[in-house]
Structure 1
Amino acid sequence: MPKFYNSDLADLAHQLELSPRRLRVEQVLGIERLLGLIEDDRAYPFEFVCHAITKFHKKGTPTSALIPASALVADLVTMAEMITRGAGVHAKDLGQSYQTHEEVAGELRVSTKTVRRWRSRGLMGIRAVCDDGVNRLVFCRRTIDRFSRQNQALVARGASFCQLSAAERSRIVDRAREVLEDQSPKLHALARQLAEETGRAVETIRYTLRRHDEAHPEAALFADRQNSALDEQTLALWRCHEAGETTAAIASAFECSEEQVAQTLRRVQLQLWKESPLEYIPNELFDAPGVDALILEVSEPPAAELTRTRIPRGIPAYLRALYMTPLLTREQEQDIFRRYNYLKYKVVRAVESADLQTVSQEQIEAIRAWMKLVESINRRIVQANLRLVVGVAKKHVGWSPDFFEVISDGNMSLMRAVEKFDYGRGNKFSTYATWAIMKNFARSIPGQRYHGHRYVTGQDAVLENVPDQRPEPASPSDKRRVRELIAEGLS
């Protein structure tokens, strides 16, 4: 079942899905009319939503709360697609023209990926049988016009995400340097200002400025203010802290107060974070009002029921534990990747907005807490999908001597896939990760097999006369130690 922010709306969608199919078109039109009435800064009772769609009064649960506009819009769009999937709705019965994903992207001058993101903002699509007899996701004319009218700034900003020319990048960097000569804004504030001046997207401006600083460190826009704090004494103080020395001991060694030491440590920590920012997959939902309540404060979807998993024959005992961890369901994947990228987004924004000279201990602790959650979620995703690597490796090389080397390579592919996966597309991560692992194996394994066959000379007689200079074979205890290390790496 698709992910809903509100449980009452999830129940309503399930009931509509079971209702007679002849009512689908009217239900979809009711959802579209309701989307045209929702205001961003308001919240709505479930009874109002239910009546607008079905024309019937239905009360929510005793604990039902008002539904925020952003969550309501996202759930209504999900509901429209859910109740039309498999319902056999014909596009001609909608009484209006329609467009496909690609056609909407062309009309609004954005990418199809942007269209997919905008669906959670109210660009409602429905599953319908088109004139060619193919069931596909389509967007009604009324929906496109209503979304463009309600989100004029968003549509204009989305159209500004086209690729910058070299001249445009140069003008943006020059303008940023002019602003920094008179003011001292943070990167995000500067990106917002330049976005308003140029009509480009904020993310485009910020990415351009970051790339410039990385490519030209000697002329970086933000380097001077960031690196000024890291003199030799400061670095020596930080190394003592990393070695485990207490604040009091460091203060005594450097002949300064404990407060001065604490302030310096905060400054260095923030500087290191600024130099190595986290990478995250952006989503329009992250900027919505009250987004913490929508992403972090909701309960996780229920896990799939534990079933007896068939363990491949011949698998070593220390790899069997991987098959005891169930794969995540689609709903769990959507929820966990939403949390994962939103927490990284919070870290990036907090680090960018913090000042090196005035950063407080509370800010540092908050960022550290978010980073710990990010690491915990990352481990959970990787552990739940480690058996994918084993399964793909077995298909490619079997139980050959290269098996564990291939697994190690596949684990790296899995970890890269976690960072690159865009949950907003609605795909399953396990499918995406399997594809990424297989793609990597397709590149690496043929090369290994080539080298394996390349040095077979066929001169057996000559080789038999060569002295055997190989070391003594490993003892059973050495083999056990290798197995233990591999098991630790996979746990």
Structure 2
Amino acid sequence: MRRIVDKNLVELLIQLRFTPSAKRLRQIEATEELIRSIDPDKQYPWEFVHFRITGFMPARSVQSYLIPGRQLLEDLRIFVTRLSTIACPRVDQLDEPIYRLGEVASRLGVSEKTVNRWRRCGLVARRFIFPDGKKRLGIRRGVLEGFMEAYPELVERASRFSRMDERQRREVIDLVVRFAANSKGSLSHVIRQVAQATGRSAETVRYTIKQYLRSHPEHPLARRASARSSVRDAQRVFELYKAGVPISQLVQRFARSRSSIYRLINQRRASALMARRINLVPSPEFADPAVREQILAEPVELPAAPDGLAEIPDALASSQLLPEYVRLLKQAQPIPAALEARLFRKYNCLKFMAVQCRSAIRLSNPAARLLGQAESYLAQADAIERALVAANLRLVVAIASKHAADPAQFADLVSKGNYALITAIQEFDYTKGLRFGKQAALAIAKEYARSSGKDIEISRRKAASIASAQIQLRQSADLAAIERARQSLTEVIQRELDERQQYVIINHFGLAATGIRRKGKTLQQIGQELGLSKERVRQIELVALQRLRKALGPEEFDLLTR
């Protein structure tokens, strides 16, 4: 299913879901009027779009920007369809006739596919409840007449479309069979050749062959048409491509067109990119395109890692590698404060740009340009991360030496400390003006404290005394204080958070209207209910928790998050 590209329009759709039904219908009709006035070749400010739909200007916190007309038409078409799913009027209660898509096609003498193509040009369809009680897409008579007045040539040209008779259909099928026998390319390539030879569209030829093969499944072309790449074949194509096998060889080996091979490769690249977790510390300056361009264009010389350090594994399997490991670390030079700040700034900006590119990629048809940009940004960020890790490995060894009781434990602590160092790099906020070494040392020490706590053996007597103390504490708990904390928590949530933030917090942490805890929903489930991605729900929850942390006392906030 197609998605709305503009994020502010997505948020507006979520907000309008909670408006009264009568007001929603007026907003749908206002959106239909807006669609009829959009010129695909122009750009429109977000304030204009918001005002035309709702009747009031958006919040000042939203920065002004322009939306291309072609993208806006597609987004508004999806906007109307989804919003009308919530507020579906009954056909028999309306003052004007409502036509189903098939009825529109019959009235104008075109196919239903043509009607769907017209929807991308501004023919607005939304959901109605028809007499049989089912919700279907329909088009109001006024909307249809307005579209015919706006695009008379388009409607007339489509109505003059000539349908093939049986003789012409047979000629097309014979040409496809003959071209396919003399070609090693894909069936799509053959269809394009036949379309060029006959003057028909490729879609017409493809549909003719599809209908013929459906009634003749034993025909050799049927096997060729169904030769779709399996998941294993697609993975094999991607692995060979990464190994450096030329595209021409992949085309011959898998009997597919170049475009099909590239599509398989790009889909695998997009899947890998979507599955990657990108941790970054956002900065307000990243929102300015000029500042981003300046940051990315600034040359930053990465400090060189000692020769041979990369050959030693991150997880030191034995203490035999430690002497050589420590010797190499002594050659590493610390990073000056000014260079460190520039590295972290560029590191997070590169990840920010990668996330921006990734959000614009569609898994069904990923754009190679966006994939290349996102992968390039991440490759540069990974190079900076490796340089920061190599420059701070001496810190890990120094802290591990203070916690280790024997050489075997020292090797294990170094390995754990290296992973804690990488996490600290990904979470370091360079905008505070602090040196990274202090936060890294704290993160490594915390990791050692957690790991050492798991290894402590508590005696039975000590464990029994701890359990007894816990029971006494539970028995002496002030139940009235807990109830007051729950009531205070509910009041603060309703006062400090907007409607969508309340929905996320209450459902994720399992709070009923009274503040009593129940089984919470996952971020994925909440995202499906609100029409948002899991990452967007996580961002909304983070903002809400920051507000609650400021407004709640320690007891109430602990009651929420524990």
- TM-score normalised to structure 1 length: 0.42
- TM-score normalised to structure 2 length: 0.37
Q: Which protein, 1 or 2, shows the higher relative CO under an 8 Å CA cutoff with sep ≥ 6?
A: 1
